[in-house]
């Protein structure tokens, strides 16, 4: 046997593996593997393994056959001469065993074979040599295997014993984890040793050198830094640069002034700013610094009583720790102006800090005479109030935005200031092409879409490509772009998302598929109406045989049989599972049909879904009923955690599965902070019975280290806070000494779990929240705690909140009463925007808008944008009539869901606003949101413009307007989307329109419409007596007057037939 083995080609292992894997593992005894590979010449085997490794390095092997192969390969490797030498071992690991080692269970096999720590250390060293070449998933799998080996018997300090030579090295992280430490959680580290041992490891110079080049998980980096700094005798000067970003306030409390300045300079140099805060954008977050970063900065700043320009420059980024009191009282006007350049480079100012600095500068005589003096302010520009910024000339703004050092700070401005910048720039630029050219990228999405209509002007494609647009903006110029740029691949993702059906009228049919393929390469995301149109264009001459070359979302509008020429139904649904399923409405017939076909394809006849099928189903798992979730145990949790929302029966099933503990995550009582992070998408589903079982320290650690990166809302996080607060409340006689509310406390996002509602009430006495309100209202306070905060403000301002406070109310807006609102003085659209930004209930929003208009404020473009689509339907007739048509031109609204009366009032205003663009292709996109109020004559005119109206828009038109259209007009109005009328034919007013048409004429459309009038018959469609919009009383009276004559005609025809 041995002789012919040596004659085998190097690809023999590939053939052998491919032959064996379809067979059950029982087909081969594992010992045969040992015997087989023992006969193989080592050099020939390495050559065969090298070829095998190249083929399967990124392809998961069968876990069962993997174990059989590794069983024999490992024994053979141990027989190789000099296998203990790093070069020989490294060759085997690098060139041969890599595909086998990424299965974590392999390391259990190594434990079973009693692989010694010394040998294992060499294996880790060899794997460490290829770490940077591995995909993240393989790195993670290998780390899981390494961890399995080190902790399998449950003993801490595996491969470490201070009394045993060879096992007493404290360079343990380097020896047994290497770069794989990047995937270790805090919980993992605590499995490797107790805190005293881990501190020895952490402080070992070899380990410190290694971690200075690694990027640890955030919570692990914080913990590692704590291990280094919590004990005595560790100088912060020895801390690797990247770990100064994770210091705790206690680590810097005893520094001298000089050491504080030195550390501040290291922080400025090495610590990048986080771009999000609690899963929300910087626009909503007053500061994007973590609690620890703010507290460390405050600790460093407190070393000084007065701040000279030299100290402020040296503090650098740490100057963000300045309190309002510091700014007002500890920096002279002269020193503040001399420090503008340094303070303008600081990132993460909250609104109160930057506002206080700006106000102090302006009141002391600082002049903004040109773009240079504005740009010099840098990040401090966020402190401008709207009226001050509006007072600047457009020329000053234009000059400033041409300076790169200023533009980088624009992205962090609040929306209200961004819109003012756009107003100023657009007022001084005459043409859309110039506006696009000069506008900074961070402001592009704030340009009113009506200002992006090019008309006869040719767009500059390069300028458009260099900006990020919204889908509605890009739709304005998509038709112009199609004419100007023949090479679709030169268009950016942002431009391509503006695809409109109307823009394809002048395109050659053979180019539709080319356009769709480019969209796939650029990962362009389209909406339902866009995809519905695009799929018709792509399949115009039949279903393509290479559907994998097209956007996955297109498959949502095709079937497995359409995909048959491209691949199997499993491939089809694997793609569907990765598509944006939310393009289709949750309970739509299309989504239900997709799920039904998927279950049939995967042969899932029962309600139990295994992990493999769950991976294929992907987002379709979100549509499985509670029965499937229960029956599948924990198999679906990974996919369910990605779902946006659940139905009640799904939520109940998820809770049942989680509570059982029969999942890979175990019982909630055994969860760690890392477990919570993995399952964070399901936290909103957890009820009290689950949350109370999760260890309190795990919940606290998760809130501290993970919550700021989660997508959970403040309200959802508050449910966790409620679990951490004591259930029995002691009556507070006074604020305990250790509960005094200081600036340090107010800067901590863990404040909600440190104070019960009673303690908060007692300890807030004599504390001013004004300067901290925007910051603390991002914290996860419970409803009871928020009620206390609201009461505190009521006591402070019994005659009503000042307008300066209204803009800081944030989530407290939901707690205000009509009586509160009646006391407010809302004088600007900016204040209105700040009050509505946190989406109060309709009744509160309506009262706020009414108070704004009652005080004589105009419903201009800024006010309408503040009201937005969410609240536009709340306006009454008086308020609607206040709107000037020109304001609609600069507002972004969609009143299609409003009452007919609202749509009837707004349509003529919108028509007047966009009248100067009526002859342009973009006119339809501008007027489209308002078409629900259009009379029939306007729709008839629109039918001549090849607009390709989508059927969802058509179904929302005025009933009387639709009924006035002829078949030919409807055909022209819908264009490429005419075929969709069949799916919607039973929806009003389409059904009434169909009934009024002759069936013979409907048949000529060839789209399968039925229900029309047969020859010799009359369909009498019952009209609804709608409000002022549908039919006038005169029309109704005329209809009643003619009814007897119509009945006589009908009876005569019946007799004659």
| pLDDT 10s digits, 456-488 | 899 999 999 999 999 999 999 999 999 999 999
At 881 the pLDDT is 96
> Residue 31: which residues within 8 A CB-CB, separation 6 or more?
none
> Residue 952: which residues within 8 A CB-CB, separation 6 or more?
528, 529, 984
With a cut of 90, say whether residue 748 has pLDDT above it: no
CA distance 918 to 895: 20
24 vs 793 pLDDT, higher one: 793
SS3 at position 633: helix
376 and 355 Cβ atoms separated by less than 8 Å: no
HSE-CB at 910 with a 13 A cutoff on CA atoms is 27
For residue 823, whether the previous peptide bond is cis, meaning omega lies within 30 degrees of 0, is: no
With a cut of 60, say whether residue 772 has pLDDT above it: yes
At 711 the pLDDT is 83
pLDDT, one tens digit per residue, over 961-975 is: 999 999 999 999 999
pLDDT, one tens digit per residue, over 218-228 is: 889 989 999 99
- Taking each helix axis from N to C terminus, what angle separates 63-79 and 42-56, rounded to the nearest 10 degrees? 150
At 71 the pLDDT is 63
pTM score, whole prediction: 0.81
At 147 the pLDDT is 87
With a cut of 50, say whether residue 1040 has pLDDT above it: no
Q: Out of 99-113, 637-651, 910-924, 1019-1033, which region has the weakest mean confidence (pLDDT)?
A: 1019-1033
476 and 448 Cβ atoms separated by less than 8 Å: no
The arithmetic mean of pLDDT across residues 428-455, rounded, is 94
For residue 989, whether the previous peptide bond is cis, meaning omega lies within 30 degrees of 0, is: yes
At 200 the pLDDT is 93
* Confidence tier at 1021 by pLDDT (50, 70, 90): low
Q: Out of 403-412, 553-562, 819-828, 1029-1038, which region has the weakest mean confidence (pLDDT)?
A: 1029-1038
702 and 677 Cβ atoms separated by less than 8 Å: yes
CA distance 599 to 607: 10
CA distance 503 to 522: 19
287 vs 113 pLDDT, higher one: 113
Q: What does 105-123 look like in DSSP terms, one character per residue?
A: HHHHHHHHTT--HHHHHHH
Backbone angles phi, psi at 277, to 5 degrees: -145, 115
pLDDT, one tens digit per residue, over 589-625 is: 899 999 999 999 999 999 999 989 999 999 999 999 9
The arithmetic mean of pLDDT across residues 326-338, rounded, is 96
Beta strands in 427-562 (DSSP E): none
> Residue 762: which residues within 8 A CB-CB, separation 6 or more?
732, 734, 735
Give percent of the chain above pLDDT 70.
83
């Amino acid at each position: 046997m041995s002789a012919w083995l040596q004659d085998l080609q190097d690809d023999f292992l590939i053939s052998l593996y491919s032959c064996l894997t379809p067979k059950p593992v029982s087909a081969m005894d594992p010992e045969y593997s040992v015997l087989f590979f023992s006969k193989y010449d080592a050099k020939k085997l390495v050559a065969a393994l090298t070829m095998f490794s190249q083929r399967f390095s990124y392809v998961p092997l069968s876990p069962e056959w993997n174990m059989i192969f590794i069983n024999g390969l490992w024994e053979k490797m141990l027989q190789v001469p000099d296998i203990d030498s790093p070069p020989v071992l490294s060759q085997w690991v690098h060139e041969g065993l890599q595909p086998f080692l990424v299965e974590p269970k392999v390391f259990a096999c190594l434990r079973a074979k009693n692989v010694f720590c010394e040998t294992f250390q060499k294996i880790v060293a060899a794997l460490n040599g290829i770490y940077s070449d591995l995909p993240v998933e393989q790195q993670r799998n290998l780390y899981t295997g390494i961890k399995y080996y080190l902790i399998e018997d449950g003993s801490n300090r595996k491969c470490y014993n201070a009394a045993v030579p060879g096992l007493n090295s404290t360079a343990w992280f380097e020896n047994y984890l290497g770069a794989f430490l990047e995937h270790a959680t805090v919980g993992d580290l605590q499995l490797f040793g107790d805190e005293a041992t881990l501190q020895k490891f952490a402080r070992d110079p070899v380990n410190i050198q290694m971690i200075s080049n690694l990027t640890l998980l955030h919570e692990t980096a914080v913990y590692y830094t704590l291990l280094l700094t919590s004990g005595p005798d560790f100088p912060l000067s020895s801390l690797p640069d990247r770990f100064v970003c994770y210091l705790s306030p206690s680590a810097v409390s005893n520094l001298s002034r000089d050491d504080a300045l030195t550390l501040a300079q290291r922080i400025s140099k090495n610590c990048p700013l986080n771009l999000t805060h609690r899963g929300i954008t910087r626009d909503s977050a007053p500061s994007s610094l973590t609690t620890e970063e703010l507290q460390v900065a405050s600790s460093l700043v407190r070393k000084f009583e007065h701040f000279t320009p030299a100290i402020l420059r040296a503090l650098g980024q740490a100057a963000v720790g300045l309190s309002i009191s510091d700014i007002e009282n500890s920096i002279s006007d002269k020193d503040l102006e001399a420090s503008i350049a340094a303070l303008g480079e600081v990132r993460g100012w909250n609104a109160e800090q930057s506002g206080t600095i700006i106000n102090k500068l302006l009141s002391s005589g600082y002049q903004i005479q040109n773009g240079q003096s504005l740009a010099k302010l840098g990040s401090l520009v966020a402190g401008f109030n709207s009226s001050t910024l509006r007072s600047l000339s457009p020329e000053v703004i234009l000059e400033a935005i041409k300076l790169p050092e200023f533009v980088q700070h624009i992205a962090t401005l609040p929306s209200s200031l961004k819109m003012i910048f756009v107003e100023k720039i657009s007022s001084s630029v005459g043409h859309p092409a110039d506006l696009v050219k000069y506008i900074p990228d961070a402001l592009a999405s704030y340009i009113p879409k009506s200002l992006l209509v090019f008309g006869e002007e040719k767009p500059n494609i390069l300028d458009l490509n260099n900006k990020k647009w919204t889908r509605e903006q890009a739709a304005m110029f998509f038709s112009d772009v199609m004419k100007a740029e023949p090479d679709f691949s030169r268009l950016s993702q942002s431009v391509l998302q503006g695809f409109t059906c109307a823009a394809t009228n002048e395109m050659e049919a053979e180019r539709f598929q080319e356009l769709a393929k480019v969209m796939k390469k650029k990962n362009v995301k389209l909406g339902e109406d866009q995809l519905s149109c695009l799929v018709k264009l792509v399949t115009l001459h039949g279903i393509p045989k290479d559907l994998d070359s097209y956007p996955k979302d297109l498959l949502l509008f095709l079937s497995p049989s359409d995909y048959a020429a491209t691949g199997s139904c499993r491939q089809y649904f694997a793609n569907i599972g990765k598509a944006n399923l939310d393009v289709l409405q949750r309970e739509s017939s299309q989504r239900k049909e997709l799920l039904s076909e998927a279950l049939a394809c995967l042969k899932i006849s029962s309600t139990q879904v295994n992990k493999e099928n769950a991976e294929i189903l992907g987002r379709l798992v979100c549509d499985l009923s509670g029965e499937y979730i229960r029956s599948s145990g924990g198999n679906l949790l990974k996919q369910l955690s990605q779902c946006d929302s659940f139905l009640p029966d799904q939520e109940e099933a998820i809770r049942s599965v989680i509570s059982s503990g029969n999942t890979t995550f175990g019982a909630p009582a055994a969860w760690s902070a890392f477990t919570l992070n993995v399952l964070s998408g399901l936290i909103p589903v957890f009820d009290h019975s689950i949350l109370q079982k999760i260890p309190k320290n795990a919940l606290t650690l998760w809130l501290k280290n993970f919550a700021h990166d989660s997508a959970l809302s403040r309200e959802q996080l508050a449910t966790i806070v409620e679990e951490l607060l004591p259930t029995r409340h002691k009556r507070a006689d006074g604020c305990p000494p250790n509960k005094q509310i200081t600036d340090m406390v107010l800067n901590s996002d863990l404040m909600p779990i440190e104070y019960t509602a009673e303690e908060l009430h007692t300890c807030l006495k004599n504390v001013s929240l004004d300067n901290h309100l925007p910051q603390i209202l991002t914290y996860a306070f419970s409803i009871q705690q928020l009620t206390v905060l609201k009461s505190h403000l009521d006591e402070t301002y019994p005659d009503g909140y000042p307008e300066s406070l209204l803009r800081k109310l944030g989530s407290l807006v939901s707690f205000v009463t009509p009586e509160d609102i009646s006391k407010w003085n809302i004088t600007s659209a900016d204040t209105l925007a700040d009050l509505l930004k946190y989406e109060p209930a309709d009744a509160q929003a309506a009262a706020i808008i009414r108070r704004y208009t009652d005080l004589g404020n105009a419903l201009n473009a800024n006010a309408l944008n503040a009201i937005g689509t969410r609240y536009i339907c709340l306006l009454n007739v008086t308020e609607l009539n206040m709107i000037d048509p020109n304001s609609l031109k600069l507002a972004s609204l969609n009143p299609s869901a409003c009452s007919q009366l609202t749509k009837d009032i707004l349509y003529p205003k919108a028509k007047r606003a966009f009248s100067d663009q009526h002859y342009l292709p973009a006119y339809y996109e501008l007027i489209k949101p308002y078409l629900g109020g259009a009379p029939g004559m306007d729709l008839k005119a629109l039918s001549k413009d090849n607009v390709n109206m989508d059927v969802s828009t058509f179904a929302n038109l005025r009933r009387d307007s639709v009924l006035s259209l002829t078949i030919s007009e409807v055909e022209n109005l819908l264009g490429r989307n005419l075929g969709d009328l069949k799916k919607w034919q039973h929806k009003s007013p389409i059904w009434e329109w169909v009934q009024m048409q002759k069936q013979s004429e409907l048949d000529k459309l060839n789209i399968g419409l039925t229900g029309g009038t047969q020859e010799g018959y009359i369909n009498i469609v019952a009209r609804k007596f709608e409000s002022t919009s549908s039919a006038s009383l005169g029309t109704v009276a005329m209809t009643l007057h003619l009814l007897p004559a119509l009945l006589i005609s009908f009876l005569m025809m019946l007799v004659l037939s």
